[in-house]
Amino acid sequence: MEYRIEKDTMGTVNVPANKYWGAQTERSRNNFKIGAEASMPLEVVYGFAFLKKAAAYTNCDLGVLPSEKRDLIAAVCDEILEGKHDNQFPLVIWQTGSGTQSNMNVNEVVANRAHEIVGKVIGEGEKTIQPNDDVNKSQSSNDTFPTGMHIACYKMVVETTIPGVEKLRDTFKEKAEAFKDVVKIGRTHLMDATPLTVGQEFSGYVSQLNHGLKALNNTLEHLSELALGGTAVGTGLNTPAGYDVLVAKYIAEFTGQPFITAENKFEALAAHDAIVETHGALKQLAVSLNKIANDIRMMASGPRSGIGELIIPANEPGSSIMPGKVNPTQCEALTMVCAQVMGNDVAVTVGGTQGHYELNVFKPMMAANLLQSARLIGDACVSFSDNCAIGIEPNHKVIKELLNNSLMLVTALNTKIGYYKAAEIANTAHENGTTLKEEAIRLGYVSAEDYDAWVKPEGMTGGLK
């Protein structure tokens, strides 16, 4: 491999000749060989591209950067956003907690690519654009990384997570309506309880996801606040007047999202409560989705020796040794995603506590975990909707058999003959292996006509459909 010499304030470094990054990126690449597959998410890199372009426009508008340099910086940022330079960002998550090296990675790539755009050879002569003085003008890693991660996380949530959850929610809503008259036995403590409809059961899933979506949407206002303009410690040192508000406006324009400057830059640098809050909402969704997926796979268990109340799509063979076996694979995939998100939440929570004085130093890990969780939930909801939920059907025969066999239908007699006599009927029927009706009549507590009039499963589901 051929190398060129790049230098920074610590001296010279050999950098691969075919790469745009410079000395600081190479130092980090060599010093943090931790988790080769744990690269800084490209979403964060793209967040940097948006903010570097916005900073260039703002600095130009405020008279501290020539328009020629603005246009060069913006051109390279556009190339980054088009995915043309994805292989130029080799750094891992496990680096400095402020993300300084990733900030410089972007600065160096922009500077060297700009040098190339104007027809010069990288590594020869003075750089056309300086990484620190031009690309990083009016910025610090301490305010650019939180800005980049807010851009990345906000976009992931609104473009991937929310649409995915809404799709699954809508599928369950359709099923709740379709199954509103299918009466089944309810279960509490995993034991037989009083009846409800399959539609009512599914309506609970719809409500869970609606509450999760509401919680997630409520975090977006805080997540939309950007740290840019706070520079090193939140004071805005070395920024021109009005920079923070104007740069946020440019970011909003370039991303198409309602970003604003953070009201308090000291919070924006030292605390990442917005990330903790947003991931907390993702955890809430994970808890809901785990419950839903477990319900469905248990109700679909069997098909002959389990509960078997629901029929789920048979997507692929379930065993390499048992012919004809089909497993609830989408349920398993979704619950594994939920477990990962819950684990990520622990790491994000710990990361949120690491705001020492004026700077939180767990930024890369917090950003990476939130991005992974947000994408996983969005993708898993789409997969579950398309490959499982949309094809769920009630097994009417099994549902009717289990319903009629349940002793808990006796609850309908409580108001007619009292709890204790009703309990005697249920216990005796269970002991003798007989039906509720048989024992109710034999014990002399009700007539056959009264039993048929009073014990109607469809009348025990209440008014909610």
319 is catalytic: yes
Evaluate the CA torsion angle 110, 255, 376, 274 in order and state its sign.
Answer: positive
Is residue 430 annotated as part of the catalytic site, yes or no?
no
* Rounded-to-integer distance, Cα 403 and Cα 193, Å: 10
234 is in an annotated binding site: no
Q: Binding residue per annotation — 97?
A: no
Known binder of ligand: residue 265?
no
- Tell whether 99 is in a known binding site: yes
Q: Is 100 annotated as a binding residue?
A: yes
- Radius of gyration over alpha carbons of the chain, in Å? 30
Please check if 197 is assigned to a binding site: no
Q: Would residue 200 be called left, alpha or beta, if left means φ above 0 and alpha means ψ between -120 and 50 degrees?
A: alpha
The answer to whether the annotation marks 346 as part of a ligand binding site is no
Q: How many CA atoms lie within 13 A of 95 on its CB side?
A: 29
How far is 364 from 141, CA to CA, in rounded Å?
12
**Distance between CA 46 and CA 213 in Å, rounded?**
26
From CA 137, how far away is CA 78, in angstroms rounded?
A: 18
**Helix, strand and coil in the chain, % to nearest 5:** 60, 10, 30
The span from the first CA to the last CA of the chain, in angstroms, equals 69
Report whether 325 belongs to an annotated binding site.
Answer: yes
**Active-site residue, from 319, 356, 396, 430:** 319
**Judging by DSSP bridges, how do beta strands 183-188 and 11-16 pair with one another?**
unpaired
Nearest to 55 by CA among 163, 156, 133: 133
* CA-wise closest residue to 366 among 281, 275, 286, 277: 275
Cα 163 → chain centroid: 11
Q: Establish whether 406 is an annotated binding residue.
A: no
C-alpha 168, offset from chain centre:
14
Please tell me whether 141 is known to bind a ligand.
Answer: yes
Q: How far apart are CA 365 and CA 358, in angstroms?
A: 18
Total residue count of the chain as it appears in this document: 465
Whether residue 188 is annotated as binding a ligand: the answer is yes
As annotated, the active-site residues are: 189, 319
Q: Which residues are annotated as a binding site for substrate?
A: 98-100, 140-142, 188, 320, 325-327
Binding residues: 98-100, 140-142, 188, 320, 325-327
